[in-house]
Structure 1
Amino acid sequence: SWWETGVRVVSLSHYGVSTYAHGTGTKGGLTSLGRELLENMYSIGVVLDVSHLSEESFWEALDLFPGPVIASHNNCRALVPGDRQFSDEQIRALIKRDAVIGVALDAWMLYPGWIKGKTSNTVVSMEAVVDQMEHIHRLAGNSRNVAIGSDLDGGFGKEQCPHDLDTIADLQTIPRLLKKRGYTNGDVENIMWKNWLRLFQQAWS
């Protein structure tokens, strides 16, 4: 089974329509196989990742799946419009489920009006990443539901990252930026690593 091979988190779609669900850029819900997959995931303890789901698929998945939920790499539509981002209503629904939302560092998800291949990353800094974190924090009223999602998996290079992110080590600028905005050491630890650790420990203990 997937579990025996080490699978612990599953997302149902990416761009377009998958075997299981409608994804980014499409309209529609889960397929019958997607609904069946959610049942099987819950029965063995697999975590659901709702990133990239279409809005209809998102709500249907939350309704059908009672287990732990994450959004591994997603940002806020209130700051950067588009169906790839979550509305405040979606974010509040995830907070209600005690989900963790990982903020993505892809520049087009951080800057409204970004045009791939044309917009320069000089317009995006790590402050924009913290803006996304702060929006989720404000909706939650605490630092429990936001974390680093990154999305730095090789699908693009530095040209599509914040200009002050040179290597992965520069994620360590986030604590300083958070503290500058008044976040406590506990908040910073939650966002940097504790939220992910807590959710996964609870899911698989």
Structure 2
Amino acid sequence: MFIIDAHLDLSMNALEWNRDLRETVQAIRDRERGLTDKPDRAKGTVALPELRAGNIGLVVATQIARYVAPENTLPGWHSPHQAWAQSQGQLAWYKAMEKAGEMVMISNKTALEKHIALWNDGTPNTNKPVGYVLSLEGADSIVDMSYLEQAWNYGLRAIGPAHYGPGRYANGTDATGRLTEQGHALIKEIERLGLILDATHLCDDAFWDAMELFNGNVWASHNNVRSLVDHNRQFSDNMIKTLVSKGAVIGAALDAWMMVPNWVRQQSTPEGMHCNLEVIIDHIDHICQLAGNSLHVGIGTDLDGAFGKEQCPYDLETITDLQKLPAMFNRRGYSEEDIKNIMHGNFLRFLRNALPA
């Protein structure tokens, strides 16, 4: 089955983890064997050959660069201008992949339909470029509103105002507080330009501010359910219902600590916590039950988002194993139409509406 993954940090992996994503996952793991600078070395799950093998032909691919104020202990850049420069380096990597024929940017409806036709023409995926919709995870690198318009012009189509901690425009995961004054201006500019607002990572106060202010297309690229794993990173039932009322699609994330309760970082194991792919179906099913249908949930794995095999479902060796999900949904009683909605149909419908002509 054709799959859309609504959240992959490909350029971050390429540049900050120094992974050549044209190589196979196994080749990347072999090259990283013995490295200890990051906890997920030699445990990656994502590369372009595996996307092709898994028929994952369209992804939402990120730029990410956080600004940190002097008192902020999170990793990040010491000025918005440095963060902007980092995001431009990430853009350069995507452009290099395009020039190499490995990827293709999907920034409008025409490109989308051409790409979907290519990936569903019945021929092998071996030499097909992986399509990507460009998204910015956290808006700290937007120095001022003129930079956002510049980003729109080079192909940015979705943006999340916050990431972890306090941000220039909004507070994110593990922080509290409403949108800043700059954040209000950002939301209005996102709407004016026609960008997709990504509600992922917004803290509760900022989430409700954004939902009240914003009248454009909103999704949540990678978010799970708070009633199953009680943490501010997750969505409450009321938040999910609000997103459903706005026509949003929520991508289910495969980060183990978001899937199962009581995960302890760098101590818990997927096997020990019984974290397998069946667990993510529980989160997806919860959203479907709240919505009353299968039209508002999809896949947004966040795989290799600074974690690897040590912190994802134990029955997923590489991202290709997303192909296990349709049979699992079938065993849960989901219809073929429901399964197609979740695996690609909902995000495809959303993009057909949200992208410019």
TM band (smaller chain)? over 0.9
Q: Secondary structure at the match of 1:124?
A: coil
1:5 pairs, out of 132, 141, 154, with: 154
Residue number in structure 2 paired with 1:192: 343
Task: Give the Cα separation in 2 of the matches to 1:203 and 1:24.
Answer: 26
Deviation of 1:155 after TM superposition, in Å, equals 0.9
Number of residue-to-residue matches in the alignment: 205
Task: Give the Cα separation in 2 of the matches to 1:37 and 1:81.
Answer: 29
CA-based RMSD = 0.8
Does 1:103 pair with 2:252? yes
- Deviating above 2 A after TM superposition, structure 1's stretches of 4 or more consecutive aligned residues are none
Q: Secondary structure at the match of 2:295?
A: coil
Task: Give the Cα separation in 2 of the matches to 1:41 and 1:82.
Answer: 28
Deviation of 1:2 after TM superposition, in Å, equals 1.5
Deviation of 1:44 after TM superposition, in Å, equals 1.2
Does 1:162 pair with 2:162? no
Task: Give the Cα separation in 2 of the matches to 1:163 and 1:144.
Answer: 28
1:89 pairs, out of 238, 260, 270, with: 238
Q: Secondary structure at the match of 2:252?
A: strand
Task: Give the Cα separation in 1 of the matches to 2:207 and 2:351.
Answer: 21
User: In the alignment, residue 194 of structure 1 is paired with which amino acid?
Assistant: G
Does 1:145 pair with 2:296? yes
Task: Give the Cα separation in 2 of the matches to 1:18 and 1:193.
Answer: 32
| Alignment gaps of 5+ in structure 1 | none
TM-score calculated relative to the size of structure 2: 0.57
User: In the alignment, residue 20 of structure 1 is paired with which amino acid?
Assistant: Y
Task: Give the Cα separation in 1 of the matches to 2:269 and 2:314.
Answer: 9
Residue number in structure 1 paired with 2:69: none
Instruction: Report Cα offsets for 1:132-190 as digits up to 9, x if no partner.
Output: 10000000010000000101144111010000010111001111111101101110000
Instruction: Report Cα offsets for 1:21-79 as digits up to 9, x if no partner.
Output: 01000110111111101111111110000100000000000100100100010000111
Determine which structure has more spread, i.e. the larger CA radius of gyration. 2
User: In the alignment, residue 162 of structure 1 is paired with which amino acid?
Assistant: P
Does 1:135 pair with 2:135? no
Task: Give the Cα separation in 1 of the matches to 2:295 and 2:305.
Answer: 28
Residue number in structure 1 paired with 2:38: none
Does 1:15 pair with 2:154? no
Task: Give the Cα separation in 2 of the matches to 1:154 and 1:85.
Answer: 16
User: In the alignment, residue 129 of structure 1 is paired with which amino acid?
Assistant: I
Does 1:172 pair with 2:323? yes
Deviation of 1:201 after TM superposition, in Å, equals 1.1
User: In the alignment, residue 115 of structure 1 is paired with which amino acid?
Assistant: V
Q: Secondary structure at the match of 1:128?
A: helix
User: In the alignment, residue 192 of structure 1 is paired with which amino acid?
Assistant: M
Task: Give the Cα separation in 1 of the matches to 2:304 and 2:310.
Answer: 14
Q: Secondary structure at the match of 1:33?
A: helix
Q: Secondary structure at the match of 1:29?
A: coil
Task: Give the Cα separation in 1 of the matches to 2:246 and 2:227.
Answer: 20
Q: Secondary structure at the match of 1:2?
A: helix
Does 1:57 pair with 2:206? yes
Task: Give the Cα separation in 1 of the matches to 2:348 and 2:304.
Answer: 20
Residue number in structure 1 paired with 2:269: 120
Greater shift, 108-117 or 151-160, is seen at: 151-160
Residue number in structure 2 paired with 1:67: 216
Q: Secondary structure at the match of 2:250?
A: strand
* Identity in percent: 47
1:19-58 map, 5 Å: 19-58=168-207
User: In the alignment, residue 176 of structure 2 is paired with which amino acid?
Assistant: K
Q: Secondary structure at the match of 2:300?
A: strand
